Amino acid sequence: MEKSNLKWYLIIFALLVVIAALSLLLIFHRPAPLYRPIHGFLLHHSHRVLTVSDVGRIQNWMTFDYINKIFKLPSDYLKNTLNISDSRYPNLVLYQYASGQKIKGSDFIVQIQNAVRNYLTPAK
């Protein structure tokens, strides 16, 4: 390896480490004044709670964990409602689970949608 190239490899590596360190600092540390407006914008936009009208967005490539998070469901709600005993829950893809249980994918999606709808619909 040429000496001049090695110098550039080291500079780039150092730059990447600095970028990574700065990002980690922004994530885990209190936002710096410059970052605060951006952070505020991100928080404002990221807290749009999905409602009953969004249950149609559930698809079989999603995981239980993802559905729990985006619909703000209690972590064990789907597990208990659908009697899921798989130890990989909630890090389990819907399709994977449905095929393992020999359930038709589209039918299972409907079951999930109904369970989420029941949770999100306020009791009369």
Partner 1 sequence: MDYFSTFGSLLSYLLLYKYVALFIFIFLSGVGFPVPGNTLLLAVGAFTSQSYFSFPLSLTIACIANILGDLFDYLLMRKYGKFLISRNFHKKIPFASKIRQYVKILDQYVKEREFIVIFITRFLGIAGTAVNFLSGLVPVPFKKFIFYDALGNIANIFLMLSLGFVISASWQTIANIFGVLWTGLGIFILIFAVIIIIFKSKKRTTSV
Near partner 1 by CB under 8 A: residue from 52, 60, 77, 79: 60
Residues in contact with partner 1, shown as a per-residue x/- string from 5 to 24 under the rule CB under 8 A: x--x---x--xx--xx--xx
Please report whether residue 59 would count as binding partner 1 according to CB under 8 A: yes
Q: Looking at beta carbons only, is 39 or 123 nearer to partner 1?
A: 39
Interactions with partner 1, residue window 78-107 (CB under 8 A)? 91, 93, 95-96, 105
Using CA atoms, how far apart are residues 2 and 114, in angstroms rounded to an integer? 63
Buried residues in 52-70 as b, exposed as e (16+ CB within 10 A): eeebeebebebbbeebbeb
With H, G, I as helix, E, B as strand and everything else as coil, classify residue 93.
Answer: strand
Using CA atoms, how far apart are residues 56 and 85, in angstroms rounded to an integer? 25
Near partner 1 by CB under 8 A: residue from 63, 81, 111, 113: 63
Sequence-ordered list of residues with C-beta below 8 angstroms from that of 109, at least 6 positions apart, any chain = 58, 59, 60, 94
Using CA atoms, how far apart are residues 122 and 124, in angstroms rounded to an integer? 6
Please report whether residue 113 would count as binding partner 1 according to CB under 8 A: no
Contact footprint for partner 1 (CB under 8 A): 5, 8, 12, 15-16, 19-20, 23-24, 26-27, 42, 45-48, 50, 54, 57, 59-63, 65-66, 69-70, 91, 93, 95-96, 105
